[in-house]
Structure 1
Amino acid sequence: MTPTDVVDVAREAIWVLLIVASPVMLVALGVGLVISLIQALTQVQEMTLAFVPKILAIFLALILFFPFMITTMMDLMDQIAQRIAAL
């Protein structure tokens, strides 16, 4: 493999990482924002109030997006395997 091929594989891996992680991170961001808004409106500053719903939402998002995440990562692995086989 040339250095250009290595950089291409690394770039593709980083791109897949961002695509795979973004749905879960956006769900966590949204839930955290809503909980923070509720805490600011009610002036209830309980730490577990923000932690527990966010964890539950992340688990739910992982269950919902898991097929998409697996297929995306498998596609990347197929591309890497094809590059290795082409050597």
Structure 2
Amino acid sequence: MSPEMFVDILRDALWLIIILVAAIVVPSLIVGLIVAVFQAATSINEQTLSFLPRLIVTLLAVMFAGHWITGMIMDFTIELVQRIPSVIG
């Protein structure tokens, strides 16, 4: 295996991780920001008020993006298996 091929595989894996994590974390960050602005505007300093909406949005993101995430991981795994002959030879 050449170092360039290893770097390409590592780059693809890291990019996949970034995309999949962003699909789950970004909606939670947006909801957290909205709740924080609401809390700042109303002077409510309750910590649990921001936790529950973020938890619900994160679970919904996992529910709705789960099929897509699984497909992306499966496609990457199939691509890795198909690269085995070029990695060995």
Give the TM-score category using the shorter length: over 0.9
Q: How many residues align?
A: 87
Give the superposed CA RMSD.
1.0
Is 1:12 equivalent to 2:5 in the alignment?
A: no
In the alignment, what sits opposite 2:56?
Answer: 56
In the alignment, what sits opposite 1:21?
Answer: 21
AA in 1 matched with 2:49: L
Q: Distance in 2 between matches of 1:23 and 1:37?
A: 22
- TM-score normalised by structure 2 residue count: 0.92
Q: Deviations over 1:42-63 (max 9, x none)?
A: 1001000011110111001100
Deviation at 1:85?
3.7
User: Once superposed, which parts of structure 1, at least 4 consecutive aligned residues long, lie more than 6 Å away?
Assistant: none
The percentage of counterpart residues that share the same residue type is: 31
Q: Which blocks of at least 5 consecutive residues in structure 2 are unaligned? A: none
- TM-score normalised by structure 1 residue count: 0.93
Deviation at 1:24?
1.2
Q: Which blocks of at least 5 consecutive residues in structure 1 are unaligned? A: none
Q: Tell me, what secondary structure is at the counterpart of 1:81?
A: helix
